[in-house]
Structure formats: C-alpha cells, structure tokens
Amino acid sequence: MEYKPATNSRCSKRSRARIVETEAAHSKHKHKHQHQHQPLQVVWLQGQQRQAGAKSTMLIGCALPFEGNQRVVGEAVFQAARMAVMDKAPALLPGVNVNLTCINSKCIDIPTYNAVYDLAERGAVAVIGEVCSGASVAAAGVSNAKKLPIISPSSTTPSLSQPDFFFRVIPSDTYQGSAVADLVSNRGLKNIGLVYEDTAYGYGLGFSFIAAFTSLGGNVPVVVMFKRGQGNVADAIRQLRAGQGSSQYPLDGAFIATGNVTFVADLLVAAQAANLELPLFGGDSSSSPELMKLIAGRPSVIGNFTVVAPSMYMQAKPEIQAGMLTPCTPGDSAFLRRFSDFVKQSNADPLAAESVFAARGYDAMTALLQAYAAAQAPKNGPAIVAALQRQNFTGVSGAIAFDRNGDLVATDRTYVFGQLTPKGAVEVEDFIDISNDGGQVAARATASAGV
C-alpha cells in the first residue's frame, strides 16, 4: 500500500446549484409497537412524484439513528436515500409509487432488531441501515430470518462478512484497519497505543489494525479497552502517557477505535489539558461533523488528529488526482452541490450536508432500486439478493460492486485520510490504497488462528 502526500491541500469551494424538489409529505408519529421498544417513526412518502396511473406501491424501510452520537450520519443517509428515490425511481420503476419509511433505531441493537422486524412485518421489500456495526449485527439476524435484503452505508465490522441477506456499500474493517496501519507505518511511527470500545465496531477495527500493523513490523504495547458507553477519558490519557515513558516501546502515536464521538471529543480535549503530544488517529466514525460541534469552544489537540474516511469518485477532477486541490467532503462534486441544496430545502440539520456517509447512503439506495428493477419475479428477497450480487456501477462515492459476502469490493480509491475542518468536513490529503491489503490481513488472521 502506498500513498503520496498531496500538495497545496485545501478545501474546494462548492458552488450552489439549485434543484427543484417536488412536494413531499413529512410526518413524525408514535407507532404502537408490538415489541420491547417504541421507536420514533420518521416517514417520508414520495409525494408528487407518484407515477401517473401507478398500479402498485413499494415499501422500502430504513433503520437509522436520529438521536445520539451518530444522529448526523442518520440524517445524512436518510436525506441521501430520499434524494436517490427522487432521482432514480421514476425511470427504474415506472408505474410504481415508492414509500420510504424510516424508524429511529438509535444505533442500538434491540431498537434496531425491533425496527427491522417491524418493517418486515409491514411488507418492506428491503431496508437501508443501520449505520453502527453492533446495530447492524442485530439487523442482519432479522433480515436473514425474514429473507429481507438490507444494505448498510457504513457498518464495517468483519463479523458481518457472510454470504447472506446483508450488504454494505463500504468494505469491512479488515480493510480499514489495514489502511490505518499503512498510514501510520508510512509516517514512520513504530509504537502505537490502541484505545478501543468493546463493541462490534471498536473490537473489529481495533484488532484488524493490530494484525496489520504488527505484520508491518510495528508494535501495539498499550491497549486500552472500555465497555460500551463507559469510556474513562482520564484513564485512557494516563495509560497513553505511561506508554510514552516506556523504555522498551515508547509510544509515538495512538489509534482510537470507537463509534462514540463524545468520547473522542472528550479525549482530544483531555489530551490538550494533559499536554499529551502524540499523533492521534481515528476511524471513519470519527469523521462525523458532530465531533467538531462537540469540541467547539474547548481547547483540544484536534490539529494532531487524523481520520480515515470513505473516499469519493474523482475521475472527473484530474486536478484533484494530481494532488493540486482537495474537496472538503468525500463524494462526487456534482452530488455534493445538489445534496447541500437538498438538505437546505428539506430543513434538515445542515451538518448532514458535511457527512462523508451521505454519498454512501445515496449509492445504497441506488443499488437497491436498480437491483429491484432487475430482479426476476416474484421480486422477493432471494431474487433481490441475486440482483444485488450482479450490481456493478460507478456511484457518487466510487465503484459499487459486491463480493460473495455482500461486502463492497475494495479498490485503491476506497479510503482517504485527512483532518477535520472547523465545519466538520474532512479536508482530504490523499487516498490510501487498500485494494490488496484486506485479503492479506484476513489470510494472516486465519493462519494465526490455525484455521
């Protein structure tokens, strides 16, 4: 894996392009749920874009967080999915009205299980979601039992790599951990501390990083684990400082693997207060615009914090490929302009327009609509899965094709790295080539386990 530092790195200016959105009905209501929880429902119906003379209505569900640490990601994916329906459905599904119904699954396993179960019972043909890995593990259990296809825009735990009804438009953390390892190694760092949350995402990403980094000759002498929602920032800082003073393997950096953006923000602030001078790195969850909002007004080491994020399609901008100009947010530049206006017209949270996962949400819905249109009768779950396996197109986030496990096929343009701008976008420095690394890491992990 190689990367070349970009020159003259800065955020590109995104000109505003007006688009006309037809009327859409928005409503929020409480649904009398038969299960353990009663998640808030956010419903969007395709309004005036209903097909003239339509003979059927198709229900697509989505299970996304509209509260908590990942609420901005949930809002971004929801709005991007809406936009994809408006863009794609009339041509792909003539004569079919599309009803997109979203349930607030909170990035938590039980609410997500209930949400997907509820959507299956309502007759949804497929579901977009969840964004958190642990929640998607719960969702996958329902989707497999109900034979309901589900596509996640951002869940990355390796445990979801199975030949079943779960797909994702992002590679597993087998690749992301390898990407972070190569990035750190190329910067000449040898001894890295790992701070991870004991969740499907944190564990999968953290230990994929360890496998890749140690194979490159690096060491991970300090490992700080915390249970979900129980992170102790002071303890993490104490252990990292102690690692710095080690005579055998003195730390020269640290990697934070957690989906808890509040913990990351508090750690960056505490590191400043403790004068912890270490390069810090974060995974894709830390690329959330919510992080900058949480840090706002507080001294922090955000300038020493580098994130890895899903990349964008750049073929149309050779000046970016040459390293002369970098965009603020991963995603096709034309899509970014349209989506920014779409978010504004929808009166959605402006931070949603800065999310690196908006483009992934758009491509997840595009893949689903195309697969449904191509699926053979009776267009049930197995038929849609078969059609998803045949998808191969260039989306706004990059190349979209799935392997036999429903994972996005990784390329040398899958990940970028950079720092967060004051608005919470990612100022990209360059790509990280992980097209071959994931398979190598997986092989090493299998060999070490004696499988």
Q: What are phi and psi of 45, to 5 degrees?
A: -115, 150
pLDDT exceeds cutoff 70 at 226:
yes
pLDDT of residue 268: 98
Give every CB contact of residue 258 below 8 A, 6+ residues apart in sequence.
195, 196, 197, 199, 201, 202, 231, 264, 285, 286
d(CA 160, CA 147): 16
Give yes or no for a contact between 74 and 360, defined as CB atoms under 8 angstroms apart: no
Q: What is the mean pLDDT of residues 135-141?
A: 96
**What pLDDT band is residue 376 in, cutting at 50, 70 and 90?**
very high
CATH number of 173-326+412-448: 3.40.50.2300
Closest to 359 (Cα-Cα) out of 73, 103, 26: 73
Q: How confident is the model at residue 144, as a pLDDT?
A: 97
DSSP 30: E
pLDDT tens across 332-342, in order? Answer: 778 988 999 99
Q: Give the whole-angstrom CA distance, residue 219 versus residue 230.
A: 26
Just give the CATH number of 25-171+332-401: 3.40.50.2300
pLDDT at 437: 53
- CATH 3.40.50.2300 in the chain: give the residue spans: 25-171+332-401, 173-326+412-448
pLDDT in tens, 13-32: 332 222 222 222 233 333 33
pLDDT 10s digits, 421-435: 887 777 888 888 775
Q: What is the pLDDT of residue 235?
A: 97
| Long-range CB contacts for residues 382-385, cutoff 8 Å, separation at least 24 | 382/147, 384/125, 384/126, 384/149, 385/149, 385/165, 385/167
DSSP-assigned beta bridge partners for residue 27: 43
Rounded to the nearest 10°, the torsion over CA 299, 301, 230, 195 is: -170
Question: Residue 11 has what DSSP assignment?
Answer: B
Looking at per-residue pLDDT, the higher value among 261 and 442 belongs to: 261
| pLDDT tier at 413, thresholds 50, 70, 90 | confident
**310 has pLDDT over 80:** no
**What is the pLDDT, as a whole number, of residue 451?**
28
pTM, full prediction:
0.79
| Bridge pairing between strands 150-152 and 305-310 | unpaired
